[in-house]
Structure 1
Amino acid sequence: MIYLLLTLFGGFSGVTTVLFGFGGGFVVVPVLYGVLISGAGGALAEQAAMHVAVATSTCVMIVNAALSTRRSARAGTLLKAWLWPLAGFIAAGSLVGAVAAGFVSGAALRVAFVVYLAITIVDCLCRRGFVSSTFEGEPHRLSRWSVGPGGIAIGAIATFLGVGGSVMTVPLLRRCGLSMTKATSMANPLSLPVAVVGTATYMLTGLGNTGLGAGYIGYVNLGAFAALTLGAWFGMRLAARWVGRIPDQLHARAYVGLLAVVLVSMVLV
C-alpha cells in the first residue's frame, strides 16, 4: 500500500516537473517524510526521516529533470545563454549545501524547508514581475552577481533542502522577461547539478548509517526511489500535452498555489 501511494505521488511529481520545473522535490520531500515518520520504514528511518526524504528526493530529481530536459531540448525551448555558466556555479553550491545538511538535525532541516517556502511565496506575491510580468521587449541577460554568487547560493540552498533549483531559478528567469513556459523549461536542466551532486553526497555521508537497512544506499531509500520514479514517468507523459497551452498569468498563479499547498502539508505533518 505504501509503494502504491508513493507511485501515485510520483505521478504528481512528474506533472509538476514538466509544468513547473519542480523536479519532484516539493512533492517527494513532504510525502516521503510523512511516510517515514509514521513508522513505515522502521525506527531508525523515522529518526533520519528528513535526511532520507531529502536524499531520495535528489535521486528522483536526476531522472525527472533529465527526462524533462531531453523533452525541452527536442521542443527547442532551452535557451543556452541562460544555462551556462549558471549551471556550473549551481553545481559548486550544491556540494556545499549537501555537506552542510549532514551536520544539521532533521527537525532543523524541516523548519528550514518550511521557512524558505514561506519566504518564496511572499516574494512571488509581493514583488512585481512574477505573477504578472511587467517586463516589455526582449529578455535581458542575468547579471554577473546573479550568475556567480547567486548560482552558488541557489545550489547550496536547493541541495540543503532537497528541492532542486526551480524555486529560485523560475522567479529569477521570470523577472528577466521569460515566459512561465520558458522559465520552467529552463528550471530542469539547472536542477540537474543539484540532483547529481546532492545525491552523490547524501549517499556518501549516509554510508556510515548502516542501521537503515539493505534497501538504502547512504540516505537514499531505493524502494521509494523506484516507486516514485515509475509514477513520475507516467506523470510526465501525461503533462507533456499541456506544455505551452496554459495562459501565462494562470501558470504563474498555479506555481505559487502549489508552493502554498506544500507549505501547509509540511506544517501539518
Structure 2
Amino acid sequence: MSTILILLLAGCVIGATTVLFGFGGGFVTVPVVYAVSATTGTAEAMHVAVATSTAVMIVNAVIATLAHTRSGLLRREYLCPLAGFIAIGAVLGVLAANLVSDQVLRLLFVAYLVVAIADICLRRGFLARTAPADIPPMPVGNAMSIFGGIGIGAVAAFLGVGGSVLTVPLLRRRGLAMAEATALANPLSVPVAVVATVMYSLAAPATSRTGLVGHVDVVAAVALLAGSLPTIAATKRSLVKIPDHAHAIGYPLLLTVVLIAMGATIIG
C-alpha cells in the first residue's frame, strides 16, 4: 500500500510537470519507478523504469496535447517537420537501450542531466530570449528536422524522457516563448512514447514477475496515471500565467532536483 501511495503522489508531480514543462513525466517517472523497482529486487530496474516511463508518457502527452490545442499554444509549423524523424530515432534509441547494462543506462541518464543543465545555464538563448518577443521565431530547417529529429527520438527513447529532453531547448533557441516550446514538447513526445512502449513491451526481461509486460511495469504505470491525470486537468489552466523568464528558470531547477535524486541512487 505504501508503494502505491508513493506512486500516486509521484503521479501528481508528473501531471504538473507534463503541463508546465512538457516532460510527459519522464524525468520524474524514471527515478521513482527505478527506486520502487530496485527496492523490490526487480532485475534490470533501470530498464523497467525507462520502459514504464514511455508507457505513462503516451497517456499524459496525449491528454496534455489536447489541453494545449484548446489553449492555442501549439504552433503546427513546428510539428510535422520533426515528428516523423523523432519516431525513427525512437526505434534506434530502444535498440540501443536493450544493448546496454542497467548500470550503464543509469549512469548515462545522470550524465545527460548534467549535460542538459550545463547547456541550459551556460549557452545563450534558453534562460532569456535573445530576440525581442515581437520578432517571429526562426523555422526549423530541413537538416535540423532530419538530424535533430532522429537525435531527439533516439535520446528520448533511450532514457525514457520524451520529446522535452531536447525539443524544449531546440525550440526555445528558435525564438519561441517557454509556454509554446513546452506545449509543443507534448505532441512531439507521442511518437517517442508509442514506438518505445511497443518495443519495450516486446522485450524479454531478465526475470518475470506479476505486472510486467516485457520491461513495462503495468501496475506502476496505472498508479502513476491515477495521480497524473487529475493533476493535468487541474494544472492546465495555469501555464499561460507564468512569466516567461520564471518559466525558463524552473526548467533547469527541476532537472537539478532529479539529478540529485538519481545521483543519490548511484552513491547508495
SS in 2 for 1:168: helix
CA deviations 1:182-209 (Å, max 9, x no partner) are 0000000000011000000101113xx3
Asked whether 1:15 is paired with 2:13, we answer no
- Contact 2:81–2:142 under 8 Å retained in 1: no
1:114 pairs, out of 104, 110, 129, with 110
Secondary structure (helix, strand or coil) at the match of 1:183 reads helix
- Does residue 234 in structure 1 map to residue 230 in structure 2? yes
**Structure 1: tracts of 5 or more residues without a match:** none
1:249 and 2:245 correspond: yes
- Supply the distance in 1 between the matched residues of 2:11 and 2:138 (Cα, whole angstroms): 35
Instruction: Please list, as runs of the form range in 1=range in 2, the aligned pairs for 1:3-152 lying within 5 A after superposition.
Output: 3-39=4-40, 43=41, 45=42, 47-136=43-132, 137-152=135-150
Contact 1:89 1:155 in 2 (8 A): yes
Q: Is the 8 A contact 2:81 2:140 kept in 1?
A: no
Counterpart position of 1:162: 160
Give the deviation of 1:76 after TM superposition. 1.7
1:210 CA displacement: 7.4
CA–CA distance in 2 between the matches of 1:225 and 1:212? 17
Moved more, 211-220 or 184-193: 211-220
In structure 2, give the amino acid aligned to 1:180. M
Give 1:143 shift.
Answer: 2.1
1:251, distance to aligned residue in structure 2 (A):
0.3
Work out the percentage of aligned pairs sharing the same amino acid. 50
CA distance in 2 between partners of 1:265 and 1:212 (Å): 27
- In the TM superposition, residue 146 of structure 1 has moved relative to its aligned partner by 1.4
In 1, the alpha carbon distance for the partners of 2:128 and 2:107 equals 30
How much does 1:135 deviate?
A: 1.6
Distance 1:124 1:244 in 2: 22
2:202 aligned with 1:204: yes
Shift of 1:117: 0.7
Rounded to whole Å, the distance in 1 between the matches of 2:130 and 2:81 is 26
The SS at the match of 2:233 is helix
Paired residues of 1:135 and 1:175 also in contact (CA < 8 A): no
Query: Who is 2:184 aligned against?
Result: 186
1:176 matched to which residue of 2?
Answer: 174
Partner-residue secondary structure (3-state), 2:200: helix
Give the letter aligned to residue 109 of structure 1.
L
What is the SS of the residue equivalent to 2:237? Answer: helix
Taking structure 1 as the reference length, the TM-score comes to 0.95
What is the aligned residue count? 262
TM-score, structure 2 normalization: 0.96
Which residue is equivalent to 1:262? 258
- Aligned-residue offset at 1:211: 3.2
Q: Secondary structure at the match of 1:244?
A: helix
Distance of 2:220 and 2:70 partners within structure 1: 30
Distance 1:114 1:31 in 2: 14
Q: Which runs of 5+ in 2 are unaligned?
A: none
